[in-house]
Every structure is written in structure tokens, then in C-alpha cells.
Structure 1
Amino acid sequence: MDISDLPDHPDCDPAADPDWAGRPYDPDVLVLDDQVSLLRAWRHLVGSHDAHRRHSLWLLLIDEDDHPMAGVLEVEGCVDLPEPDQLDSMVAMLRDVLDDGAPGGRVAMLRARPGTHPVDAEDRRFAAGLLAACRRGGLPADLVHLATADRVVPLPPDDLPMSA
């Protein structure tokens, strides 16, 4: 299986997995050490289907032992990619939080938007901009995910524009 198989693979559905179904999100138990576990976590946190999905950016900090840190940050109303200086400030803040609480940790990010249309150029540009800001700020980052009204999918780096 490669990453292109993840969006519709039954192993990525938290409801179909007895270890995930009905279990509260527990950062002390949950380990996010591969793409399947991260995709499951996003589907658990934001839901696989949400007809009322709005534009937002979700941020999840993950410690050096691959456990999510308590709390998930949602930046609401994030329709367009923020300006580079705004992204750099956000990355610096996240880097400070990780340096203080989980040196060696990383960030996972998810772009949410309304609609059911597939991944488009704007989604790719948005993800590439987020990852570029993380690189500039020295913040390790997992691949970015996209949540639409009917699915949560990964945005593989190989599919992102190089210019961001």
C-alpha cells in the first residue's frame, strides 16, 4: 500500500477499527507514528463527513514519542493561505511550544474547506505554503491533510507545487 491508497482504505476508517471505535481521543495512549495512524486521528478529530464544513486550519502538535499533545488548535475562517510573515509567526509560536514542552516534536496540519470537489490547485498551494513556512522556521511537519464535506485525505508532498 502506498499513500494514494489511504483515503478509501478500510484500515483508515476509525469507526471500522475496534481499537478506535467509541474510544475517546486519548493523547497518552494514541501513537501517531505512520500515515495511517495520522489519517485515522484526523478523521476521528474532524470527522470524515461534515456537510457543514467551513474553512479552517487545524494544528496538532505531536511529541518526540509520537503522542499527540493535549489540545488541537483550529484557526477558523482560514479561506486563503495567510501571508508568509503571518505563517512565520505561527511557526515560531508552535516551535516555542514544542521547544518548551516536547523538544523533538512536530506539527500535523489539516486544511478544512466546504464542498465535495476533489483536491485542487488551491489546496495544493495552501499545503505547500504551510510546509514551506515550517521549513523556513525549522519546524518538523507531517504531511498536510485536507478535510472536505465528504472526506479527509492526505496531500502528499510529491503532488505539491515546488514554488511555495
Structure 2
Amino acid sequence: MSPLDCSLSTTAALTAAWRFVDGGFGYSAPQLFVLVLDRRARIVGPVIHLYDEHQAAAPDDGMLGLLVERLAETVEELAPGGGVALMKARPGRSPVMTAADLRWCRALHRHLQAAAFSSRALFFATDLGPRIVAPDELIG
């Protein structure tokens, strides 16, 4: 059974799912992954995969607002009462977040906090694999 077929209600299960999505092959460009989850934290629909190489240095706040609006519509349609899980990824072997990584993760966190749906812990990945974004990294 794939980690994507299990409930992602625990941090360990979500980490396993992101490791599966990550694939261990690294990244050719900055990317954003989204999983839509039902009330039982099971994935519904496909993995949403967006490339953001044109905004690698900083996210466009309006674009993120639009993304969250569309995710709200998707959650309402596919999984009423559900939520999302997100992972920001970029090429490179250093697991240390750059200033651009922090801008992205903080902006994502801010938009998710204001969203009309729930969200799981935010993840960040480099070519070395995924990890949870610590709460103190989201303050700034």
C-alpha cells in the first residue's frame, strides 16, 4: 500500500507521504505540492504540482491569495470539511532554508492561517528530502 493511500492524520504519516511524492530524485526548479484531504485526512484527487521558477525569490501575495481561494473551492467540491497539506520544494542539497525559502513558507503559512479550510503542518524539501517547517521558522 502506498503512503498516499493511508490517513495522513499523524506527522509520521504525512512525512511518509511527502517522501513518496518527493521520490528522492531532487528538483530541477522551485515547486509547490498540494494534497487535498478529506475529513479523515485521506487524499482525494490528484497531487497538485505547481512550478514557481518565475517567483523563486519571493511569492506574489495576490497569486497566493488566488491559490488559496481555488483550494477552498476544491476542498468544498471534493472534500467538504476537509483541508490541505502543502510542501514547498527547491533544488539544492542544503536543508537550511534560504531567505527566499523563508519568504515563501511564511507567506504560505499566513495565507493558510486565514483560509476557510484546515491545513496540515507545512513541509519544505530540497534534493535531500522533505522536512517539516518548524513553527519558529514561520515567525518573522
Question: What does residue range 1-164 of structure 1 map to in structure 2 within 5 Å?
Answer: 23-24=1-2, 27=5, 30-47=6-23, 49-78=24-53, 79-120=56-97, 121-162=99-140
Which whole-Å CA distance do the structure 2 matches of 1:133 and 1:62 have between them?
A: 18
AA paired with 1:89?
A: L
Count of matched residue positions in the alignment of Structure 1 and Structure 2: 137
Distance in 1 (CA, whole Å) between partners of 2:78 and 2:21 is 22
34-43 vs 72-81, greater mean Cα deviation: 72-81
Q: List, as ranges, runs of 4+ consecutive aligned residues in structure 1 with deviation greater than 6 Å.
A: none
What do residues 37-66 of structure 1 show as CA deviations (whole Å, max 9, x unaligned)? 00100001122x324542111111111111
Q: Secondary structure at the match of 2:114?
A: helix
Aligned residue type for 2:75:
L
Residue 85 of structure 2 aligns to a residue whose secondary structure is: strand
Q: Is the 8 A contact 2:7 2:41 kept in 1?
A: yes
Q: Gapped runs of 5+ residues in structure 1?
A: 1-22
Q: 1:114 to 1:54 in 2, by over 3 A?
A: same
Shift of 1:161: 2.4
Amino acid at match of 2:119: A
* Runs (5+) with no aligned partner, structure 2: none
Task: Indicate how the Cα distance of structure 1 residues 45 and 51 shifts in structure 2: closer, same or farther if over 3 A, else same.
Answer: closer
TM-score (norm 2): 0.86
Q: What is the CA RMSD across the aligned residues, in angstroms?
A: 1.8
Higher strand share: 2
After superposition, the Cα gap between the structure-2 partners of 1:82 and 1:139, relative to the gap in structure 1 and judged at 3 Å, is farther
Q: Which has the larger radius of gyration?
A: 1
Q: Percent identity?
A: 26
